[in-house]
Amino acid sequence: MRINLEKCIGCMECIPYCPARAIIATGSKCAVDEQRCFECYTCLTSGICPVDALEKVPLKWPRILRHIFSSVTMAHKWTGIDGRGTAEMKTNDVTGRYRHGEVGFTVDVGRPGVGTTFEDVEKISLAVAKVGVEFEQMNPVTKLMTDKTTGKLRDDIKRERLLSCILEFKTKDSKAVSVINALMDVSKSVNTVFSVGCISRCRPDGTIPVKTMLEEAGIFYRPNGKINIGLGRPLAP
Amino acid sequence: MTHTLHRQGSVDSLKEDYPVLIIGTDVPLGRHRMRFRRKFPRIYAIVKRTFLYFGIPKMLRIIKRTKPVVAHGGLVFNNKKELTSYLKELKERNTGKSVVVSGLFDEVNDCLKELNLSPHTVQFSLGIFGKKELLPKGEILEITTMCGHHMISPNLVEKLANDIENGKISHEDAVRVMSKQCVCGVFNKGRACKLTEALVNRLYSLSYSKTGTAY
């Protein structure tokens, strides 16, 4: 994203719209700090500029990743899915991705509202991979891994900044607490924040195995979350 | 996406916030708002009546996931009664699509019990890890986390709060500006109005320091 200085009238109205705080005042005009910009186009789509001074810049690899992950309106060509992750537990009643005895995790890196780089994303993927997790194949970050067993990402993307992206993986019940401990450890070395979600299939009697596990381990969880209410028709019986 | 998982706020405030996502794996391309209206006329009427944001035009986007095709829609309820009524209708229609309800576990489970439904899969939010000092103020996060993709800039919320305080804009219009940034249709306008009012009161009250620490 850039600001056409010929058109900019310096009204500064666009500045607060930027989630990256990349639009800055330079004298009587505004400018975009290219290093900070997520290429989310939020400033442009808000329609706030009265003189249409906000302009897209053609994006090449790897900078295009900033736009794909941050804007969420463009599908990833390698998964066909737009946004930052997949339907994860939302369609579990249909797909059966998370089964009894397994715990799923979603790690929204850079969320809420801080942003991240793939360098930090890799720190987290490497940390959880050491415990022993299975990364979701259809997740766009997994597609950027050069080694899906170690969680290593491509080297050419590490410096790219994005509003957020999601690591999705699952593991056995017995490893869930170790994964959370690994996330707590790596949280000390990242230069951002990340929000963690923990997924569990409910037993037929209504009990939730991971809930007991979290409580026994003294791990905090919020009183609100997401519930798949089981109205989906399974793809296979 | 984890969309509605990490919504922040007090238990009392979250009692007015129930986003629902409907996700199909077998719907044809080309679905749109009018089709939803024809297929679910009662649901459409209920949602319209409750004022809360109905994001079907933006939200019902088609996601081509090779095959099968996945499409989804999202809306938000502000009370358990309307939520229960909506879920009852979905259950009776037996469309085979996945339905995900977000909110306080105790409250949502009450609704499910009433309909003789039980959770299939749940997702807990374990909260925020990492450099929390980089986060915006808590009152602002309560508003911005209602956008599933976090497209509402914390600076925008703060600027709008300032405009409200200076009489330049009403609470309702400020919330309208915020909701325009959210593409997924799960931004709860009613709750946002209340939270914005509280934010303005706190930011501009004499007992509130600029660093965000209440005395």
A109: closest CA of chain B, how far (Å): 9
A223: closest CA of chain B, how far (Å): 6
pLDDT at B148: 81
How do residues B108-120 score in pLDDT, each as one tens digit? 999 999 999 999 9
With 0-12 / 13-18 / 19 or more C-beta atoms within 10 angstroms meaning exposed / middle / buried, residue A79 is buried
Q: What is the SS3 string spanning chain A?
A: CEECCCCCCCCCCCHHHCCCCCEEEECCEEEECCCCCCCCCHHHHCCCCCCCCEECCCCCCCCHHHHHHHHCCCECCCCCCECCCCCHHHHHHHHCCCCCCEEEEEEEECCCCCCEEHHHHHHHHHHHHHHCCEECCCCCCHHHEEECCCCEECHHHCCCEECCEEEEEEEEHHHHHHHHHHHHHHCCCCCCEEEEEEEEECCCCCCCHHHHHHHHHCCCCCCEEEEECCCCCCCCC
Dihedrals φ, ψ of A214, to 5°? -65, -45
- Residues of chain B by 3-state class (helix, strand, coil), percent to 5: 45, 15, 40
- Residues of B within 8 A of A206 (CB-CB) are 118-119
B10: closest CA of chain A, how far (Å): 10
Q: What is the residue whose two structure tokens read 């993986």?
A: A169
Kindly state whether A74 is in contact with chain B, defined as any CB-CB distance less than 8 angstroms: no
Token output for B147: 């956008």
**Residue B132 and residue A193: Cβ atoms within 8 Å?**
yes
| Nearest chain A residue to B102, by CA | A226
Give A178-182 contacts, CB < 8 A, sequence gap 24+: A178/A131, A179/A103, A179/A105, A179/A128, A179/A131, A179/A133, A180/A217, A180/A219, A180/B126, A182/A127, A182/A128, A182/A130, A182/A131
Kindly state whether A15 is in contact with chain B, defined as any CB-CB distance less than 8 angstroms: yes
Taking only residues 101 to 160 of chain B, the set having a beta carbon closer than 8 angstroms to any beta carbon of chain A reads 101-106, 108-109, 112, 117-132, 134-136, 141, 144-145, 149-156, 158-159
Dihedrals φ, ψ of B8, to 5°? -100, 160
Kindly state whether A224 is in contact with chain B, defined as any CB-CB distance less than 8 angstroms: yes
Mean pLDDT (whole number) for A147-174? 96
Nearest-angstrom CA–CA distance, B139 and B148: 17
The kind and range of the H/E element at B204 are: none
Complex prediction ipTM? 0.94
A156: closest CA of chain B, how far (Å): 25
pLDDT at B31: 40
Q: Domains along chain B?
A: 11-114 (3.30.70), 132-203 (no CATH)
pLDDT at B61: 38
Q: Domains along chain A?
A: 1-58 (3.30.70.20), 83-217 (3.90.1170)
Kindly state whether B10 is in contact with chain A, defined as any CB-CB distance less than 8 angstroms: no
pLDDT at B50: 37
How do residues B14-57 score in pLDDT, each as one tens digit? 999 999 988 875 433 334 445 555 555 555 554 444 333 333 43
pLDDT at B28: 36
**Which among A87, A104, A221 has CB closest to B126?**
A221
Q: How far is CA B166 from CA A169, B171, B206, in A?
A: 48, 12, 16
Which three-class secondary structure state does DSSP give residue B12?
A: helix
Mean pLDDT (whole number) for A62-91? 80
How do residues A81-107 score in pLDDT, each as one tens digit? 666 778 888 889 988 999 999 999 999
How high is the mean pLDDT of chain A? 93
pLDDT band at A205 (very low <50, low <70, confident <90, very high): confident
- Residues of A within 8 A of B103 (CB-CB) are 224
DSSP state of B137: P
Which three-class secondary structure state does DSSP give residue B193?
A: helix
pLDDT band at A39 (very low <50, low <70, confident <90, very high): very high
Kindly state whether B69 is in contact with chain A, defined as any CB-CB distance less than 8 angstroms: no
| Nearest chain B residue to A40, by CA | B151
Q: Is the peptide bond before A140 cis (omega within 30 degrees of 0)?
A: no
Q: Which amino acid is at B154?
A: P
- Residues of A within 8 A of B70 (CB-CB) are 81, 87, 91
Nearest-angstrom CA–CA distance, A14 and A48: 6
pLDDT at A163: 95
- Residues of A within 8 A of B60 (CB-CB) are none
Q: Which amino acid is at B10?
A: S
pTM: 0.87
Kindly state whether B4 is in contact with chain A, defined as any CB-CB distance less than 8 angstroms: yes
pLDDT at A72: 73
For chain B, residues with pLDDT lower than 70 are 1-2, 25-73, 206-215
